[in-house]
Amino acid sequence: MTEEVKNRIDNMVKSNRICLFMKGNKSFPMCGFSARAVELLKGCGAEFETINVLEDEEIRQGIKEYGNWPTIPQLYIDGELVGGSDIMMEMFNSGALQELVDKAD
């Protein structure tokens, strides 16, 4: 990953307290896992920004390295990788996702 791509991603996760890297966008998720991630965040009443990795190949590849995480979606809260859609699901069910979201709001 180039320094420029790293800086762009840094900027995205730091300027949005809750930031979801996904395929598609909030209204039109292009993958079932991304769709689930959006629904879980909406279920928590979260205000969140989404980044469509399908529109930017550099980000699509770079985010995997940035997060040391091989798949998309990826959720960042307060600059930290929370996880992908199954971690989000597990944390939603335990209430931990709601807690994180409330802290971020």
Residues that bind another protein (CB under 8 A): 33, 68-71, 81-84, 86-87, 90-91
Query: In the complex, what is the shortest distance from the CB of residue 59 to another protein, in angstroms, rounded to a whole number?
Result: 17
User: Which C-beta is closer to another protein: that of 48 or that of 83?
Assistant: 83
Query: In the complex, what is the shortest distance from the CB of residue 92 to another protein, in angstroms, rounded to a whole number?
Result: 12
- Per the CB < 8 A criterion, the answer to whether 57 and 86 are in contact is no
User: Which C-beta is closer to another protein: that of 24 or that of 84?
Assistant: 84
Q: What are phi and psi of 72, to 5 degrees?
A: -120, 140
The Cα angle at residue 66 between residues 25 and 54, in degrees rounded to 5: 30
The Cα angle at residue 60 between residues 59 and 62, in degrees rounded to 5: 55
User: Which C-beta is closer to another protein: that of 18 or that of 91?
Assistant: 91
Query: In the complex, what is the shortest distance from the CB of residue 70 to another protein, in angstroms, rounded to a whole number?
Result: 4
Q: Cα separation of 44 and 97, whole Å?
A: 8
Query: In the complex, what is the shortest distance from the CB of residue 37 to another protein, in angstroms, rounded to a whole number?
Result: 13
User: Which C-beta is closer to another protein: that of 69 or that of 98?
Assistant: 69
Q: What are phi and psi of 18, to 5 degrees?
A: -125, 115
